[in-house]
Homo-oligomer: A and B are copies of this chain.
């Protein structure tokens, strides 16, 4: 029970949903938006998800809940990530970088740094909120005793 499908080392959509906490519908929807294409299908057409696919789902959900990005914004981030992987893969072959590759790198770097700004701002805001909250709690406790 709760196992990989056959000997493939892959998961069916049910297991994938169970393991990620997303619904099956959500997984299919992410695919519709081009966010996550399962690494394989069976000859009969059933989706098969790899561990990497599950990690991708986790990333999507984090970008959603932690940063409050919508799925279109997340798509941008993911596509940038994907291009980085491509570039890394292509790196083995071509040795030196073409101008095109440099441009992609630059673009990706900018996006990630923009993301960094966002995360840092959010973290700062959260810290402010936290100390405010601690103050509130202290005042409540103060009202409680005595």
CB distance A112 to B129 under 8 Å? Answer: no
Using Cβ atoms and an 8 Å threshold, which residues of chain B touch A122? 66, 126
CB distance B119 to A129 under 8 Å? Answer: yes
Known A-B contacts A66-B125, A125-B66; the reply to A130 vs B140 at CB < 8 A is: no
Known A-B contacts A66-B129, A122-B66, A126-B126; the reply to A143 vs B88 at CB < 8 A is: yes
In the complex, per-residue mask of A57-94: 1 if CB is within 8 Å of any chain B CB, else 0: 00000100111100000000000000010011001000
CA distance A66 to B65 in the complex (A): 10
Using Cβ atoms and an 8 Å threshold, which residues of chain B touch A91? 143
CB distance A105 to B137 under 8 Å? Answer: no
A41 within 8 A of B: no
Q: Contact partner of A126 among B88, B112, B119, B140, CB < 8 A? A: B119
A39 CB to closest chain B CB, in angstroms? 22
CA distance A91 to B109 in the complex (A): 56
Q: What are 29 A-B residue pairs whose CB atoms fall within 8 Å in the complex?
A: A66-B125, A66-B129, A67-B129, A68-B68, A84-B136, A84-B143, A88-B143, A102-B144, A105-B143, A106-B144, A109-B137, A109-B140, A112-B133, A112-B136, A112-B137, A113-B137, A116-B130, A116-B133, A116-B134, A116-B137, A119-B126, A119-B129, A119-B133, A120-B130, A122-B126, A123-B126, A123-B127, A123-B130, A126-B126
